[in-house]
Structure 1
Amino acid sequence: MSDSSPLPPVRLHSEAELAREALATPLLSRAARLARWAGPETRVGAGGELIDDQLPQAAAELGLTGEDAAACASEAWRVAVDTGLVEIVDEEEGTATAGAELRMLTSGGPQDVLGVWLGALETVLADAAVPELDDLVDAMAEGGPVDLSGLDWDPEAEAEFLDGVLGNLYLLTVSEDGPGDGPVPLPALAASVIIPDDMGEPTNDVLEQVSDAMMRLDDQFRLLEPAGLVVYQPVDEALMTDAEDGAQDAAGDASPSVDDADVTRYGMVRLTPLGLYGLRARLLEAGVPAPAVGDLADKGADALLDGTAAFPQTAARAETEQWLARREPLAAARELLAAARGSDPGAPLRRLRCQQALSLVGSLAEPALREVLDDAELGGLARVWLTEHGAADVPPPPESMVFWLTIDTVAAQLAAEGNSAELQALVEGLARQHSGFFTTAWRVDHPATADVLEAMGRLHPDKKVAKEARKAAFKARSQRGE
């Protein structure tokens, strides 16, 4: 996951819904059942783990059968101890009982429940980063030397790998052009952390690394699913014997939207709503800005316009709708217009977000728009809004205001989208509709005039028009003494 650009905001379920989901996860529900089961007869080892003789009883308490029953019971007990659902009463005698945190699950609020679940998640994530230790266990049982170097395991690197994968899965999920609620093919997710962005055709060595990563992730997601973090369709067991060739076929397209029906055999994973909450909490804990829709609802209009500046269009609208829902329409419109003023580099995009926000207010905002008709920075925006909403007696704008608004609009689009196809179409339309546009545009008293004209020269496909734009940009800089 890139650290250079802000994450899109995530839409979270309510804490009450998430808490209910957390309580229903196999991992937390099993840990809670064992905490209620713990009592004077419960015996634990030096590390707080259940002694072997107690594991069958714990598994039976959980209704678990089969060869994995003891291992699942042991994991649930470890989670209960790590989260405080179980308390070790006497380390010397090896006794345990229900812990104070168990009451949080029954009488605490949603935040209390989610706090316990986050603790359980950390335990499982730590377990998922540990490789199979069968050889090590055998060596310890035989009293032989323990050679950690032979495991080819770097705990820090393994944890970073899993964090990177989960970070990419989070980013794909919250991005507007990602799969959203849909699953991500495991080969695409593995490729996203192995194959460099600037690599063309992956080499066989890189594809082999993708194959190895897929197998690691298959094991890890199987562990993480009972925690409620993900919904996972495992790799088809029939492919395990030919995993390397399978990865080369399936990882050819590293995008998350692979159409090949067979790709589902290589594993599919998606974050649950609870998983989105959990990963966001971990990102925030690590100091990574991870906004959520609704974060700005109680803040001022200046925070809303600045905060949504980098949001994708849909997310910006959702955030604005929540902000407006808490305010009286006319007062909100006046606050938005006041916050949209300014000559700083971020001002054009603020005004664009303001215009988009005002489109959601409706006709009740009309008095606020009429109040700024003579404002140099907001008068053009106000006329556009009033005209679009069918208002009567809208005064025509002077030519200077038309050109100022044009420069401001292009500057905002540049800040929001960069050199996009939509902006190129806007530039072509401006040059075509306004004869002699560049003759006048360089004189516009707007801080972004020269930058906008340079961008128009860069974006316009007609060499003659592009040259006119560059000349106009030079004149604008000379006029400002740059």
Structure 2
Amino acid sequence: MSAEPHATLPPVRLPSDAELARDALGAPLFARAVRLARWAGPDTRVDIGGELVAAQLPEAAAALGFDAADEEGAVLASQAWRVAVDTGLVDVTEPDDDDGEEESGTAVPGEDLALVTGGAPGEVLDLWLAALDTVLADASVPDLDGLVDALDAGGEIDFDQLDWNPRREADFLDGVLANLYLLTVAERGAPDGPVPLPVLAASMVIPQDMSEPTDAVLEQVSDAMMRLDDQFRQLEPIGLVEFRPVDEALMAETDDEELAAGSAAGAADDEDVSRYGMVRLTPLGLYGIRARMLEAGVTAPAVGELADKGADALLDAVSGYPEGAAQAEIEQWLTGRELPAAVAELLAAARGADEGGPLRRLRCQQALAPAGPEAEPAVRAVLDDPELGGLARVWLSERGAADVPAPDGAMVFWLTVDTIAAQLAADGETAELPLLMESLTAHHTGFFDQVWRVEHPATAYVLEAMGRLHPDKKAAKEARKAAFKARSRQS
């Protein structure tokens, strides 16, 4: 799958392999491939490439429960047979045409067919991934009518006439699925609502720096939508997506230009947007796209992968996760551990004067939030720690603990800098951050006269941010002066 090899994506939440394997076996196209593999026998005949001979397609369709005379049933049988061959569910011996005589090859159930019922969940998923590769390759091919029209005098495909580049088409579909994956995992890490097809098409066509798409670009979006409409119809039977196609009545009512403009308006206004198509990756689809990304060298973490790692690896990793995914990873890490020892390990891992320290401490605080009285001894043990003492006091005070020593001024200022630095690292300059700054500075007279002296590596950086964002103009000016002093002191 085409992707930036060093890209890092948000973590995905996946069901267990056993649940995913059940989904794979229930995918209509894969299930049909299994049935045809069991149907294959001594009388099964294939052509060059392992395709069923035309005369056997009605019988194959009947084996799948379709009317033997139904053309659509024959098409579905042909697709399922191709998947069965490509995944090893069927072993074929192609015909030997060296003697010039027309003969047929044979097909029998493959050794891998036994994995469907007797294999481990991971082995079933490997078969499904092979089937997915076949379906993705088919989805990248244009319609057969276009191929016939593009045949030259020698019977070869004239790609220039067809305007079809196999690698380009495969990369386009990979990019679409990567964008759909990212849209899915960006916030929740698991399938939520469907994505409008215009949004997905626009993500592939409209440049990020284009504020108002031109008519030509909108027409490209419309073309991409219709191409995706056809491709997702092919991808749904393998269990990759849940798909609501573009409303055929809508296509009949509008021309391409109106469709493009209407889809853009619908995506923006959320009015009748479902008529333009909706798509959603299934949990199995997330698994499949992630597997392809990992193969391409993309860092695509999954929630739960850190359960057997140390607290230092946990906090370093979840520092880059969205809050919801970080909480889910932390909860899995805590499961099965003795809480007092786990809390002590987390607190030790949260220390550090490096750039990532503030966010590690924020995630540590997040991890400790649901902890009960069992955690109190480990938290009290760091009350005198210059980096963790403020965090410990907050945790104990929130639970109404007795005998919590009051922090001295130095600790208050250090904790203020650390908190703002963590928020900047986690979410950037959000709309809520100025309110946090105002709240933290309102209760300390002469705050900016003292805070620039704080021995924290992020002091100047935080003060510069306060100079830009503090809602009180006078305080913002004082923050800028304090930032200059802090920079001079560091120099």
Match of 1:173 among 184, 202, 205: 184
> Mean Cα displacement is larger for which, 8-17 or 242-251?
242-251
Alignment of 1:208-357 (within 5 A): 208-241=219-252, 242-244=254-256, 245-252=258-265, 254=267, 259-260=270-271, 262-357=272-367
Cα drift, residue 189 of structure 1:
1.3
Contact 1:321 1:360 in 2 (8 A): no
Deviation string, structure 1 residues 420-474 (Cα, Å, up to 9, x no partner): 1121211122333322111000000111111111111111233332221111111
Distance 1:438 1:370 in 2: 30
Alignment partners' CA distance in 2, 1:39 and 1:23: 22
**C-alpha contact (below 8 Å) 1:211/1:247 kept by paired residues:** yes
Contact map agreement 1:296 1:323 (CA 8 A) in 2: yes
Measured against aligned partners, the alpha-carbon deviations of 1:20-48 in whole angstroms (never above 9, x if no partner) come to 11001111111111111111111111111
Residues 240 and 254 of structure 1, relative CA distance in 2, 3 Å threshold = closer
Provide Cα deviations, 1:291-318, integer angstroms capped at 9, x if missing partner. Answer: 1111111111011111110111111111
Equivalent in the alignment of 2:137: 126
Aligned counterpart, 2:60:
58
Amino acid across the alignment from 1:304 = L
In structure 1, distance between residues paired with 2:311 and 2:324:
18
1:29 aligns with 2:12: no
Amino acid at match of 1:126: A
265-274 or 118-127, which moves further after superposition? 265-274
Go from structure 1 to structure 2 and tell me whether the alpha carbon gap of 1:363 and 1:187 turns closer, same or farther (over 3 Å shift).
same
Deviations, residues 208-230 of structure 1 (Å, cap 9, x unaligned): 00110011001000000000001
Q: 1:272 to 1:177 in 2, by over 3 A?
A: closer
Say if 1:188 and 1:253, in contact at 8 Å, map to a contact too: no
Does the CA contact (< 8 Å) of 1:297 and 1:326 recur in 2?
no
Distance 1:2 1:154 in 2: 18
Code of the residue aligned with 2:439 in structure 1: it is: G
Q: 1:463 aligns with which of 469, 473, 485?
A: 473
Inter-partner Cα distance in structure 1 for 2:232 and 2:94:
35
The residue aligned with 1:424 is: 434
Partners of 1:192 and 1:254 within 8 A in 2: no
Gaps of 5+ in 1: none
Residue 99 of structure 2 is matched in structure 1 by none
Aligned-partner SS, 2:236:
helix
Select which of 73, 91, 96 maps to 1:69. Answer: 73
SS at match of 2:385: coil
Is the alpha carbon distance of 1:21 and 1:178 closer, same or farther for their aligned partners in structure 2, counting shifts above 3 Å? closer
Q: Give the TM-score normalised by the residue count of structure 2.
A: 0.93
Distance in 1 (alpha carbons) for counterparts of 2:489 and 2:440: 23
Q: What SS does structure 2 have at the residue aligned with 1:68?
A: helix
Counterpart pick for 1:379 among 360, 381, 389: 389
Deviation of 1:194 after TM superposition, in Å, equals 1.0
TM-score (norm 1): 0.95
The answer to whether the aligner puts 1:86 opposite 2:99 as a matched pair is: no
* Deviation of the 1:185 alpha carbon: 1.3
Deviates more, 1:322-331 or 1:59-68: 59-68
Query: For the residues of structure 2 that align with 1:207 and 1:60, how far apart are their CA atoms?
Result: 45
Partner of 1:95: 106
1:112 is matched with 123
Moved more, 82-91 or 136-145: 136-145
Q: Is the 8 A contact 1:324 1:361 kept in 2?
A: no
1:236: Cα distance to partner? 1.3
Letter in 2 for 1:188: V
TM-superposition CA deviations, 1:29-83 (whole Å, max 9, x none): 1111111111111111111111111111111111123322212111111111110
Q: What is the CA distance between 1:322 and its match in structure 2? A: 0.7
State the partner residue of 2:101.
none
Change (3 A) 1:290 1:96: same
> Per the alignment, do residues 135 and 367 of structure 1 end up closer, same or farther by CA in structure 2, a change over 3 Å counting?
closer
- In structure 2, how many angstroms separate the alpha carbons of the residues matched to 1:142 and 1:152? 18
Which residue identity is paired with 1:62? L
Aligned CA distance change for structure 1 residues 138 and 6 (closer, same or farther; 3 Å)? closer
Deviations 1:351-410 (A, max 9, x none): 111111111222110000111111111111111111111111111111111111111111
Indicate the larger mover: 302-311 or 140-149: 140-149
Q: Rate the CA distance shift 1:135–1:329 in 2: closer, same or farther, 3 A.
A: closer
Structure 1 equivalent of residue 218 of structure 2: 207
Per chain length, whose mean CA-contact separation is higher, i.e. which structure has more relative contact order (CA < 8 Å, sep 6+)? 2
CA distance in 2, matches of 1:303, 1:447: 22
Q: Secondary structure at the match of 2:204?
A: helix
- In 1, the alpha carbon distance for the partners of 2:156 and 2:490 equals 76
In the TM superposition, residue 5 of structure 1 has moved relative to its aligned partner by: 6.7
Residues 139 and 308 (structure 1 numbering): CA distance in 2 closer, same or farther, change over 3 Å? closer
Confirm or deny that 1:448 pairs with 2:458: yes
Query: 1:270 is paired with a residue of what secondary structure?
Result: strand
1:188 matched to which residue of 2?
199
The letter for the 2-side match of 1:433 is: H
Q: Distance in 1 between matches of 2:288 and 2:191?
A: 17
Q: CA deviation at 1:13?
A: 1.0
Deviation by residue 1:215-267 (Cα, 9 ceiling, x = unmatched): 10010000000000011111111223325212211213656xx631x221111
User: Contact between 2:418 and 2:458, CA under 8 Å: does it hold in 1?
Assistant: yes
Where does the alignment leave 5 or more consecutive residues of structure 2 unmatched? 97-103
Separation in 2, partners of 1:97, 1:179: 39
Of 61-70 and 40-49, deviating more is 61-70
Q: Secondary structure at the match of 1:360?
A: coil
Give 4+ residue runs of structure 1 displaced > 6 Å after superposition. Answer: none
Asked whether the 8 Å contact 2:221–2:260 carries over to 1, the reply is: yes
